[in-house]
């Protein structure tokens, strides 16, 4: 083996430990000091307010002379507190994603909440955060769906990533996601700007999906997208892909009340 082959082999072993072993430890080690920073910043903000108030009562002349400087200190402490809360929100988004990927058993999942978390995580792709116009419409009254959190998190991430890449490459740079439900299905619509997908590619993708085959080729039929749809297929999902003018729409309907059948309806 040459040097590059050795490195790639070791890199693969490192990557294999990342989600299950390394990330939980990293998040745990970050959480303790972060919680400490947040607690201390709030405590410091409360103490400075209390001490300024006491100074104003006991030494009004001194307080008046120092008011501008005291106000700057209060503003700085408030800013530290706000930034630590903002950092905690980002930390929670990252932690939520990796905890979702590690949750292998079946559970009752709110798809709207899952996708809200996926969209917050997607903002860590800076091009997506800053260059894409996003329209997010999530059903707040979504019933729970019974499934594996890791399955759904990984599959939705890959479809979102595919649509994100298409939107970034387009002139309009628009991305849209919507959830809704009826008395049988939870429906997810992911829409992105870009050239219409050729009907032949969509047909080939659906044929591979129906055949449960990885014999994929072409722009849409990359293995990651096909694998994601195959995973949804295991939940008897209704899957449809179609184009409207300068947009491509992927719709996924997950049955949450009817009993799963052996053959998926298209």
Judge whether residue 77 has pLDDT over 90: no
Judge whether residue 214 has pLDDT over 80: no
Strand partners for 206: none
By CB neighbour count within 10 A (0-12 exposed, 13-18 middle, 19+ buried), where does 141 fall?
Answer: exposed
Least confident range of 29-43, 54-68, 204-218:
204-218
- Residue 82 CA to residue 93 CA, distance in Å, equals 17
> Pick the residue with more confidence: 64 or 253?
253
Largest separation between any pair of C-alpha atoms in the chain: 83
Confidence (pLDDT) at 265: 46
- Residue ranges of alpha helices (H) inside 59-173 are 60-102, 111-122, 126-131, 149-169
Confidence (pLDDT) at 259: 57
Alpha-carbon torsion (13, 19, 21, 26), positive or negative: positive
Q: Per-residue pLDDT averaged across 227-231, rounded?
A: 91
Q: Length of the chain in residues, anyone?
A: 266
Confidence (pLDDT) at 151: 92
Strand partners for 225: none
> Pick the residue with more confidence: 219 or 169?
169
pLDDT category, 232, cuts 50, 70, 90?
Answer: very high
pTM of the full structure: 0.79
Cβ–Cβ < 8 Å for 150, 123? no
- Please state, rounded to an integer, the average pLDDT across all residues of the chain: 87
Q: pLDDT digit string (tens) for 118-146?
A: 999 999 999 999 999 999 999 999 999 99
Cβ–Cβ < 8 Å for 230, 184? no
Q: Per-residue pLDDT averaged across 93-97, rounded?
A: 89
Confidence (pLDDT) at 120: 93
């Amino acid at each position: 083996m040459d040097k590059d082959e050795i490195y790639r082999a070791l890199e693969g072993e490192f990557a294999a430990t990342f989600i299950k072993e390394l990330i939980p430890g990293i998040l745990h080690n970050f959480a303790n000091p972060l919680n400490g920073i947040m607690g201390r910043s709030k405590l410091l903000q409360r103490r400075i307010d209390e001490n300024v108030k006491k100074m104003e009562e006991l030494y009004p002349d001194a307080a008046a002379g120092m008011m501008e400087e005291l106000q700057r200190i209060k503003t700085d402490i408030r800013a530290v507190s706000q930034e630590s809360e903002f950092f905690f929100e980002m930390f929670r988004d990252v932690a939520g994603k990796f905890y979702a990927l590690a949750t292998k058993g079946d559970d009752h999942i709110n798809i709207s909440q899952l996708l809200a978390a996926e969209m917050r995580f997607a903002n860590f792709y800076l091009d997506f955060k800053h260059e894409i116009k996003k329209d997010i419409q999530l059903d707040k009254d979504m019933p729970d769906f019974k499934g594996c959190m890791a399955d759904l998190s990984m599959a939705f991430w890959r479809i979102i990533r595919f649509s994100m890449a298409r939107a970034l490459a387009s002139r309009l740079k628009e991305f849209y996601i919507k959830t809704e439900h009826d008395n049988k299905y939870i429906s997810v619509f992911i829409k992105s700007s870009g050239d219409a997908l050729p009907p032949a590619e969509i047909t080939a993708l659906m044929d591979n999906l129906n055949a449960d085959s990885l014999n994929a080729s072409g722009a849409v039929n990359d293995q990651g997208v096909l694998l994601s749809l195959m995973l949804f297929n295991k939940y008897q999902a209704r899957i449809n892909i179609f184009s409207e003018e300068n947009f491509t729409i992927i719709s996924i309907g997950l049955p949450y009340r009817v009993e799963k059948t052996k053959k998926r309806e298209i």
